[in-house]
Structure 1
Amino acid sequence: MKIVNTSVKRPVGVIMIVLAIIALGVVSLRSLTIDLFPKIDLPVAVVATSYQDAAPEEVENLVSRPIESAVSTVEGIETVQSQSQAGSSLVVMMFSNGTDLDQALLDVRESIDQVSGMMPDQANDPRIMRFNPDQLPVMWVGLTGENTAALTEIADEQVVPLIERQGGVGSVTVEGSKEREIQLILDQESMQQYGVTAQTIAQSLGSTNQAASVGTVEQGNKDLQLRITGQFESIEDIEKTIVQTQSGGTVHVEDLAQVEDSFKEESSTTLVNGNPSVVLSILKKTDSNTVDVATNVENSLQDIRDNLPEGVGLDVIIDTSEFIQMSIDSVVQNILIGGVISIFILLLFLKSVRATLVIGLSIPIAIIATFTLMYFTGETLNILTLGGLALGLGMMVDSSIVILEHIYSYRKQGYSLVESATKGASELAPAVIASTTTTLVVFLPIVYVEGIASDLFTPLALAVSFSLIASLIVAVTLVPMLSSKLLSKAMEDNGRRYWFDRFLGWLNNKYRSVLKWVLGHRKTSITASVLAIVASLGLIPFIGAEFIPSADQGQIEIQVETELGSTLEHTESIVEQVNEQLTEFESSIETNYVSIGGGSGMGGGVGGGSGNTATYTMQLIPSEERETSTTEIVQDMDEALQGIAGAEITVNSMESGMSAGSPIQIQLNGPEHEVLADLSEQVVNEISNVNGVYNPETSASEGIPQMNIVVDKERAAMYGLTQEQVTGQIQLQFTGQVATQYREAGQEMDVTMLYPENERSSISDLQDTKIQTPSGSVIPLEEVADFESMQGPAALLRENQQPQMNITSEIVDRDLGSVVADVETALEEMNLPEGYNYSIGGEAEDMAQSFSDLAIALVFSIFLVYAVMAIQFENFLFPLIIMFAMPTTVVGVLLGLFVAGIPLSIPAFIGIIMLAGIVVNNSIVLVDYINILRRNGMDRHEAILEAGPSRLRPILMTTLTTILAMVPLALALGEGAETQQPLAVTIIFGLGVSSLFTLLLIPVVYTLFDDLTAKITRRRKKKA
């Protein structure tokens, strides 16, 4: 090939190009975004709406349903889900893959605008958002100390502004802070004495606290702006505000209420390692590097710590970049170990440091070139793309080995170095390109794969493809050039490693004897192969299936739920008991962050938390520093906490994964929420008996205790009152009312009117609530209203405009596929009422969909491999012979997964697809050489017995370098390696076993097809 001649004759040019690639690769590596997993493309949009003080039923009927109906007609929507809870509505829209989400969001906005006028006046405008899984905090930082108010001020004034200025930081959210407000504690007796209502006070405060421009006047040749400044400048100004009485007199606010500079009532509390704290969650910008952002923030924190008051601590609670960095480091370490192993194998076979150096250089150059290509294609540096490099490491040298072997053969025939390099590389370059192409084409069907499988498969496929293309270019350019300069004394037989040559000689003789036997017992060989394949299929029930192996990230979440309606103080008392039980696990816990009444500590649930819930988020010490796994610690914690009375406590691990749902998620649908709630309890009881099901939960709850106030409109009208007036006065009594705003030192705070707490804390206070009539008289609320105690739902769920109830469960000690099969059996035995049905979602659904997509990709990959070989051989028969190596990979794959105790998963499935392109390479080498010998006049039997042993050495070299380079990944060494382990195990065992079958079965199949061809040819001749 001309490119080979050019590279040999112009070595300086090749070296300069290589140096340029290395420089560009180094720059690209520094610019690549580092993350744990590739970016997940989820076409999901969210519409969030708040409806203050509304019950879930009202939110569902007046807000959620109109939004559902409006957006259901938007093109591309597959599923619409809604969650209606007290005061808020959340509608989630899932679009089909490939939908233009930007256009879809515009369509959603237009649809909602058409129904927004039908919503209640108290409902806020809907917020339409794109759901982005990347928008989760990268770090949580805790400010600890005794005074929460002081911590809030430090956070707002010092910490947040500094962090937000750091490179890559998107936003900072503060949780557990105290919000300052000016409270007016109303005195009902004084208000009645002066004949003043709360509305009168609010109007006076609002009209007084104003600044306005009232025009201009001339002063000489200038216009003066006239401005009235009446805004409050001090608390005393609020106290001295004049209020008009009904009789025409005036009083001051301080005569009607006690003015206090205080804080809003706490609805949540946060503790870090048991200490009161303010927690800051830090989000990065979309395209920012997680590790860089975390490093920038960590560096900035040291500057803040030096200026903090005594007794105030500032510590990182959870840093997601630590696990990412450890995972990346472990993969890089495995790449280095695999590279060293590959070099050792080459040195063992080639017996020359120079020859090993020539081939070994293809590894770093291919890797560096891959970084460049990854940068320009927008891929991130994550454990999957780096895992792809580690997996392709052994394959990178295959092309170089074949080229070098052929160059050496010419050198032994007496050709000069330049002639040997030119002729040897030129002759085999087309075959090497074809061989590499069979490995590359298996990745083309990725266009047919969608969803999470595509998000996983595409970056890994690109990484492997880039590395193989780069190594191929190195093999046909750099290797011939270096061979022409460095191999003058290479590979000369000088007695070194004679023991290994004797071993190869012995192995060749043994192989020749076995090959001769199988050729003489073809039926027995074929039967034995088929039986091996069938027997391996019997291992399937013992292997099982799972979605994606989860890495031990060392994060645990504990959910504490007391009785609905419980006060924050009661929940805090339960949390204290939990803390006592957790002391026995202190040696394994690095940080312990609990949010009481504030939702999930890892980002919170939409709609916030409630006073009866508490969420622990724990970061354990690295897995290498503890003897027990996260799953084992979770089970021990769960057992220790079950003895705490008065709360339902669940403990789950937060292992890294790529699925947005729980392992098992059962969705019940039907016309009535109440019936679904009962059915969900039955489902929980049924699946609790399934082995492997852990902590099953239903979204149904016992209901929130509530008091319905039914205003008697007739009686209210007798006093000149409307229902709206009565409702307004009740809200003022029990929730307060913001009258105006007060600004001080650049801060703006609410001025809120409240009644004393002892007048709004009991049912008797509610019944005795003083309702002021238009005439000025005061009556108790019970005069115009009736009271009904009942249980109200905590939240109402709907899917595709039908009521829904969800049951979720974690799994332990069993694979997902087996547990799902048993759960489905249990559900089928239940007799659901007519109109009610169930479906299984979560990871189980993602797994089924991904396996289906990957199966289609596998079929297309096999076809493409056959097509490439047919083009290479210009024959339809020889590729068919070679393809017989593929079924034998089943034996190796299933045996490997069984021995390693690993279920079939997406990474393992991707390994099977890669094997379709890898295992045929050895067969190509063997069959191609048999054909060459036969064309040279050798008998078929002798050609096979000659080709097999002569090709054993290069087959062993390429197979061993590929397999042994992946051993570190298969052993799951280091953090986060669990994700790549199934892929490595699949290829190691699949390639290893198929190589044995290739050396023995393919020659037998070759003879059978050759006999069949000869028989068909003879029949045609006779007919002719």
Structure 2
Amino acid sequence: MSPIRRWWRRSRSRSRDDERLASGSAADRLFERRDPLKEDLGRYRTFWLTDFAVDHPISVLTLLVLIVIGGFYSYLTVPKEASPDITVPFVAVSTFYSGVAPEDIETLITRPLEEELNKISDIKTLTSQSVESVSSITAEFEAGMDMTEALQLVREKVDIAKPELPEAAEEPAILEFNFSEFPIMQVNVSGEYSLVRLKELAEDIQDRMEQIPSVLSVQLSGGLEREVKVDVDLGMLKYYGISFTDVIEAIAFENVTVPGGTIDVGDVKYLVRVPGEFESTQPLEDIVVEAEGSRPIYVRDVATVDFGFKERESYARLNGNSVVTLSVSKRTGENIIETSDAVRAVIAEMEADFPPTTHISITSDSAKYVRSMVSNLENNIISGLILVVSVLLFVLGVRNASFVGVAIPLSMFLSFSVMQILGFTMNMVVLFSLILALGMLVDNAVVVVENIYRFREEGFDRKAASKLATAEVAMPVIAATATTLAAFAPMAFWPGITGEFMSYLPKTLMITLTASLLVGLVINPTLCSLFMRMEGEPRPHLTREFKIGAWVAAGLVALFLSGGRPLTAFLLAATVVGLILLNRFVLDPAGHWVRERALPATLHFYEGRLRWALRHRVLVMGQTTVLFVGVLGLFAVFNPGIEFFPEDIAPDDIWVQVETPVGTRAEVTDAIVKRLEGELGGVDGSVDYESVVATTGSKIADFGSQTGSQYATVALSFVDFELREHDTNETLEVMRSAIGGDIAGATITVDKPNMGPPTGRPVNIEIIGEDFETLKELGDRMVALLSNSDVAPKLEGLESDLDDARPELRVE
């Protein structure tokens, strides 16, 4: 007889037994269970772990409480950030040599350093960039390289090359790439007063923010900075017969504070200090440059001294209004949400002391994205728990369905504890993995609890049923979990930066599914052995003292969850009472109807279809083969393509980047940006802008940012997804069509933030040679060739990374 038939007959037999029990005496209505000690249980196998757990319920319940407490604590304290904190095998060597042309930077600094760094055998690729005043060399090491050792090797080679570098060049700076230290938010300060005053306020905020332990740095852009200008009259220098260098040396010599040691006066030891730094322009004008005969020559005789402003290197605007922007970076491993909250608290505290016309706004807050991901995880856990219990309560009843439902939070709590021990952070990959695992967490618990329920139906008591039923399915459950883990295991060995980034996916799944296996084989059987009750089984007698204690405990829990607010506690209590009544008068009868009528009818229908398929095996296998081949054919014909991260996700931000010719003054680049801001305001989808932040003096690059007066970025942030009137992907394409390309002597690119790890461009074409003029010519020809080819519509961001040199005047 088939298992389905046996289930069908057993269900009908149980219905007749219920009727007999309902009509019999009180003694007849007592359940008569098999005594495992009186039966030959040799045909049943046991599983040692479950046996131990069921025989020691107090230990298991204690473990359960520890899992809940430890998991909840770990969930609250584990660092939360947008992306995984990965080790990037890159080391950068930057050397500053003011006022030197790129060709000289290449010859004097870059080449000597490259010659020594090339001797490091563990370097995979070595790239360099020589621009005006700066030499940048990036060394990429083999994956898995210990970065502490890599930094030491680079330092040793740089020290060897130092004697060959010009004495006027600054000390080479050796830095390790760390993508977790990129800015997490921007704080914009605006008001109805000068940019000088705005910058002073921003500097006060900067000082307070840098005192936050989790904040690594705060970079300031925009505003004006005062300086003393000495405008030298070359005619007067010639008249007095002195040089420009004489003026510089005279000012530098006088503008010094000299320490004088200490002096004892009586019983007191005093510090001696000779202040010489200027606090106004008058002492500067009275400096003697040279004394010829009886008449000294003062600075005022050959120059005009006045207060002014330093030449602006950056501009910042928010929604068209001038601002001073503070870019906040957090320390590695710190909680991004707590850091954001700490920054906001500092702003709220300081804003109360600022003038009323001061306005401080926050944009590009990465914590907002992380909060959304964490909230989605919480909602998915709660929704999954409700759905699992809702489905199973019609089959097993509310109490028994709850045994399956606890597998979700317990597995999650256990996973949080393990992940914190292993040093994981709560990031986008881990959160995605947890959400992905939600649907698999209850698989083991469903199999175990349903089998225990079946053994209880056959007459075994709770303890015996829990042991024997779990042992019967233990190996299949372990095997099923192991095969799932094996499918994800290869991803843990994915090499390179991308592999380290994505390794959190299989690791998190392995931890979570292993936790669900432990819950299914240890905690679920123990709970069932203590609390599982069959339908129609008499309820255990509860003493009056126990009932009173339970109600008091429930009231205390309600007060705790309500935060001491009586109204909230009353609503919680009313909700619990409502759920009890709902279960008693709605869910319980509905579940009884499903178990006794709907489910048997469904199984009867399924059995009929299955019998038909078994009688027509050739036809069924033929249809399956045709369907399989058809699906493969559809893939071959339509070719859905392959991409690492989906490109059709609606972005929350869009970056419009501007690049003008090298040497363009910052105010000229900013004038183009202002014009661009006006055009962006007329694009379809502009009603969805939350903020428009324009920054002149830097642009976002593949691995960080580039600075220079020829660069600018306009960052568009959109309102929350549910408030948007347009698809931001469509807005992106409209912008590319409307403003992308070359306008007014500038190159405009419209892009969105990359999803996933930093990987650079998908395709790079390298042209190698000694002569830069030839390289530039070939690079421009290659760009023109690809732009006019058939693949041009499929290309984005096609450009050459060889920039023109800054225009220069050569004095022969």
Please state which band the TM-score falls in when normalised by the shorter chain. 0.7 to 0.9
CA contact (8 A) 1:359 1:401 kept: yes
CA contact (8 A) 2:493 2:503 kept: no
Provide closer, same or farther for how the CA distance between residues 573 and 346 of structure 1 changes in structure 2, counting only shifts above 3 A: same
Corresponding position of 1:593: 693
Provide closer, same or farther for how the CA distance between residues 393 and 565 of structure 1 changes in structure 2, counting only shifts above 3 A: closer
Corresponding position of 2:483: 438
Q: Aligned partners of 1:211, 1:417: CA distance in 2, in Å? A: 88
Corresponding position of 2:669: 571
CA drift at 1:528: 4.5
Answer yes or no: is 1:195 the counterpart of 2:241. Answer: yes
CA contact (8 A) 2:210 2:216 kept: yes
Please, which of 421, 428, 434 is the counterpart of residue 466 of structure 2? 421
Give 1:649-660 correspondences, 5 Å limit.
Answer: 649-660=748-759
CA drift at 1:339: 3.6
Answer yes or no: is 1:548 the counterpart of 2:645. Answer: yes
Q: Which runs of 5+ in 1 are unaligned?
A: 711-1024
Answer yes or no: is 1:390 the counterpart of 2:428. Answer: no
* CA deviation vs aligned residue, 1:950-987 (integer Å, no higher than 9, x gap): xxxxxxxxxxxxxxxxxxxxxxxxxxxxxxxxxxxxxx
Provide closer, same or farther for how the CA distance between residues 18 and 239 of structure 1 changes in structure 2, counting only shifts above 3 A: same
Provide closer, same or farther for how the CA distance between residues 640 and 197 of structure 1 changes in structure 2, counting only shifts above 3 A: same
Corresponding position of 2:148: 102
Answer yes or no: is 1:155 the counterpart of 2:202. Answer: yes
* CA deviation vs aligned residue, 1:497-520 (integer Å, no higher than 9, x gap): 5223312220122022203321x5
Provide closer, same or farther for how the CA distance between residues 613 and 454 of structure 1 changes in structure 2, counting only shifts above 3 A: closer
Corresponding position of 2:795: 693
Q: Aligned partners of 1:217, 1:396: CA distance in 2, in Å? A: 77
Provide closer, same or farther for how the CA distance between residues 491 and 291 of structure 1 changes in structure 2, counting only shifts above 3 A: farther
Provide closer, same or farther for how the CA distance between residues 234 and 81 of structure 1 changes in structure 2, counting only shifts above 3 A: same
Where 1:545 maps in the other structure, the secondary structure is: coil
CA drift at 1:79: 0.3
Corresponding position of 2:317: 271
Amino acid at match of 1:441: A
Provide closer, same or farther for how the CA distance between residues 491 and 408 of structure 1 changes in structure 2, counting only shifts above 3 A: farther
Amino acid at match of 1:67: L
Where 1:669 maps in the other structure, the secondary structure is: coil
CA drift at 1:495: 4.1
CA drift at 1:33: 1.2
Answer yes or no: is 1:409 the counterpart of 2:457. Answer: no
Provide closer, same or farther for how the CA distance between residues 324 and 186 of structure 1 changes in structure 2, counting only shifts above 3 A: same
Amino acid at match of 1:546: E
TM-score by length of 1: 0.65
Corresponding position of 1:237: 283
CA drift at 1:89: 1.0
The more displaced of 580-589 and 212-221 is 212-221
RMSD: 2.8
CA drift at 1:318: 1.8
Where 1:429 maps in the other structure, the secondary structure is: helix
Q: Aligned partners of 1:386, 1:9: CA distance in 2, in Å? A: 36
Answer yes or no: is 1:684 the counterpart of 2:772. Answer: no
Corresponding position of 1:75: 121
CA contact (8 A) 1:351 1:491 kept: no
CA contact (8 A) 1:556 1:618 kept: yes
Amino acid at match of 2:708: G
Please, which of 306, 331, 336 is the counterpart of residue 352 of structure 2? 306
CA drift at 1:23: 0.4
CA contact (8 A) 2:451 2:470 kept: yes
Q: Aligned partners of 1:171, 1:63: CA distance in 2, in Å? A: 29
Provide closer, same or farther for how the CA distance between residues 99 and 360 of structure 1 changes in structure 2, counting only shifts above 3 A: same
* CA deviation vs aligned residue, 1:911-969 (integer Å, no higher than 9, x gap): xxxxxxxxxxxxxxxxxxxxxxxxxxxxxxxxxxxxxxxxxxxxxxxxxxxxxxxxxxx
Corresponding position of 2:562: none
Give 1:754-793 correspondences, 5 Å limit.
Answer: none
Amino acid at match of 1:584: G
CA contact (8 A) 2:82 2:366 kept: no
Where 1:599 maps in the other structure, the secondary structure is: strand
Q: Aligned partners of 2:340, 2:173: CA distance in 1, in Å? A: 29
Provide closer, same or farther for how the CA distance between residues 351 and 312 of structure 1 changes in structure 2, counting only shifts above 3 A: same
Corresponding position of 1:876: none
Q: Aligned partners of 1:683, 1:494: CA distance in 2, in Å? A: 74
CA drift at 1:250: 1.0
Corresponding position of 1:40: 86
CA contact (8 A) 1:332 1:386 kept: no
Q: Aligned partners of 2:74, 2:345: CA distance in 1, in Å? A: 24
Q: Aligned partners of 2:449, 2:272: CA distance in 1, in Å? A: 91
Corresponding position of 1:93: 139
CA drift at 1:106: 0.9
Q: Aligned partners of 1:606, 1:495: CA distance in 2, in Å? A: 65
Q: Which runs of 5+ in 2 are unaligned?
A: 1-46, 538-590
Provide closer, same or farther for how the CA distance between residues 454 and 209 of structure 1 changes in structure 2, counting only shifts above 3 A: closer
TM-score by length of 2: 0.81
Where 1:151 maps in the other structure, the secondary structure is: helix
Provide closer, same or farther for how the CA distance between residues 392 and 207 of structure 1 changes in structure 2, counting only shifts above 3 A: closer
Amino acid at match of 1:662: R
CA drift at 1:240: 1.8
CA contact (8 A) 2:184 2:367 kept: yes
Please, which of 701, 706, 712 is the counterpart of residue 614 of structure 1? 712
CA drift at 1:702: 5.5
Corresponding position of 2:338: 292
Corresponding position of 2:6: none
Please, which of 659, 663, 677 is the counterpart of residue 561 of structure 1? 659
The more displaced of 671-680 and 105-114 is 671-680
Corresponding position of 2:222: 176
Where 1:668 maps in the other structure, the secondary structure is: coil
Provide closer, same or farther for how the CA distance between residues 197 and 468 of structure 1 changes in structure 2, counting only shifts above 3 A: same
CA drift at 1:24: 0.6
Q: Aligned partners of 1:406, 1:227: CA distance in 2, in Å? A: 88
Q: Aligned partners of 2:639, 2:178: CA distance in 1, in Å? A: 38
Where 2:650 maps in the other structure, the secondary structure is: coil
Number of residues paired by the alignment?
704
CA contact (8 A) 1:318 1:591 kept: no
Provide closer, same or farther for how the CA distance between residues 120 and 521 of structure 1 changes in structure 2, counting only shifts above 3 A: same
CA contact (8 A) 1:138 1:320 kept: yes
Give 1:689-728 correspondences, 5 Å limit.
Answer: 689-690=790-791, 691-701=793-803, 704-710=806-812
Identity %: 28
Where 1:139 maps in the other structure, the secondary structure is: strand
Corresponding position of 1:204: 250
Provide closer, same or farther for how the CA distance between residues 279 and 574 of structure 1 changes in structure 2, counting only shifts above 3 A: same
CA drift at 1:155: 1.7
Corresponding position of 2:170: 124
CA drift at 1:4: 2.3
Q: Aligned partners of 1:422, 1:224: CA distance in 2, in Å? A: 85
Amino acid at match of 1:68: E
CA drift at 1:329: 2.1
Q: Aligned partners of 1:200, 1:216: CA distance in 2, in Å? A: 33
The more displaced of 330-339 and 362-371 is 330-339
Amino acid at match of 1:588: D
Where 2:767 maps in the other structure, the secondary structure is: strand
Q: Aligned partners of 1:415, 1:76: CA distance in 2, in Å? A: 66
Corresponding position of 2:528: 483
Provide closer, same or farther for how the CA distance between residues 123 and 674 of structure 1 changes in structure 2, counting only shifts above 3 A: same
Q: Aligned partners of 2:487, 2:116: CA distance in 1, in Å? A: 44
Answer yes or no: is 1:361 the counterpart of 2:406. Answer: yes
Answer yes or no: is 1:503 the counterpart of 2:624. Answer: no
Corresponding position of 1:636: 734
Amino acid at match of 1:25: G
Where 2:431 maps in the other structure, the secondary structure is: helix
Provide closer, same or farther for how the CA distance between residues 446 and 491 of structure 1 changes in structure 2, counting only shifts above 3 A: farther
Provide closer, same or farther for how the CA distance between residues 683 and 231 of structure 1 changes in structure 2, counting only shifts above 3 A: closer
CA drift at 1:192: 3.2
Amino acid at match of 1:547: F
Where 1:552 maps in the other structure, the secondary structure is: coil
Greater relative contact order (CA < 8 Å, ≥ 6 in sequence): 1
CA drift at 1:279: 1.0
Q: Aligned partners of 1:91, 1:432: CA distance in 2, in Å? A: 54
Provide closer, same or farther for how the CA distance between residues 73 and 637 of structure 1 changes in structure 2, counting only shifts above 3 A: same
Provide closer, same or farther for how the CA distance between residues 456 and 14 of structure 1 changes in structure 2, counting only shifts above 3 A: same
CA drift at 1:548: 1.7
Answer yes or no: is 1:462 the counterpart of 2:564. Answer: no
CA contact (8 A) 1:167 1:296 kept: no
